[in-house]
Amino acid sequence: MHTPYPCTHTPATGPGVWELRAKKKERDAKKHSVTDKMKAVPTPTHMMLVKLCQEGILKCLVSQNCDGLHRKSGIPTTALLELHGNTNIEMCMKCKKKYLRDYSLKNIRPRSHLTGAVCDDTKCGGKLRKNIVNFGESLPEAILDSGYEHAEKADLCLAMGSSLTVTPAAEIPENAGSSGRLVVVNLQTTPLDDIAKLRIFAKCDDVSTLLMKKLGLTIPPFKLRRKLILSATPTSKSKVCNTTSVLAEGADMEGHPFSFMKEVHFEVDDKVTVTNKQPYAFVVRWDELRGRKECVSVTVKVVFHGHYGEPLFEKVLTITKKQSACKILPLEYDPSTRKWSDIADTSTKTVPSTKTVPSTKTVPSTKTVPSTKTVPSTKTVPS
């Protein structure tokens, strides 16, 4: 079963933004309001699709939503086609590298996709743009063609929560419907009702719950998943290794760059260095350590943006002079318990350094404070 069409999962019902704009109408702000989209939680329908994907039933999900909830829920990028892009992704206009952000992106001016940021690849330096498609702009041809291809292969096309009035996106389920492979779930009538094999007038979450019960499957709870990458690299220019650069980086579970950290605290020898800008880096100066050590433990405390009340996460990275080290930590956060867990704690890998690398990065806006100072935690919000 394929689901090559969007699923709109919001408490409110009615026409979507693109349908309203096509009719030159605006949404009633009194009935539909959003305090902070970054705090939005994937619905049971989102999580049903995740489970179907894990079971190999769902092969492709085509979405017109640009809120990023399908990706946040756990749908892999290999099975997700976001026709209108993702408001949490910046893309380099030069090398096309994409950056996932855990904060709202802003344009440098109205109707411009540019965010003012640049690619972190020093060999590129291209301008970054918000990876979305505004109303009236052309959809990405490659993504649209992939949607058509999946619709042709699908045993079943399930269109959920859509009016099916906005083209060319609506042509994807229409192709499946013409051969009797379309099921439409929506409270409103749609132009494709007559060609649908099955038409269900109900809410997406209600249908999703009953469908999973029929299949004997459980809808999984929503959990945040991301990777924290801690690394250490000798950075001295001389043969005598005097400094090591410690770096904290973020990635999603597929390894794509992901900026989910608000600030990082590095603690060594009872001193804490706080950095709140990328790259989150800290330099260990071996000749300044007490006892002239050859090995030292760096306590790394990560402060998150706290959209779901995430507390800080703490990990110790043990580094050795003249050796590189890297620790990749797949993390999982349960909003119901408000606790982080290291779902696959990998042991630190050390690699003998045959050649030290000159430091090319400067540590941004850092401040050193005594370790007795309490590390601030993120502000929590109701789950």
In this structure, the number of other CB atoms found within 10 A of the CB of residue 37 comes to 13
Q: How many CB atoms lie within 10 A of CB 158?
A: 26
DSSP-assigned beta bridge partners for residue 332 = 225, 341
Please list the active-site residues. Answer: 84
Q: Which amino acid is present at 383? A: S
Provide φ and ψ at 44, rounded to 5°: -55, -30
Q: What DSSP designation does 37 have?
A: G
CA–CA separation, 261 vs 167, rounded Å? 38
Q: Which residues, 6 or more positions from 221, have their beta carbon under 8 angstroms from its beta carbon?
A: 47, 334, 336
Tell me how far the alpha carbon of residue 160 is from its chain's centroid: 23
Amino acid 381 reads V
Six token digits for residue 188: 């409103």
Label residue 365 exposed, middle or buried (CB < 10 Å: 0-12, 13-18, 19+).
exposed
CA terminus-to-terminus distance, the chain: 33
- Please name the residue that has the structure tokens 């408490």: 11
CA dist., res. 59 & res. 95, Å (int): 29
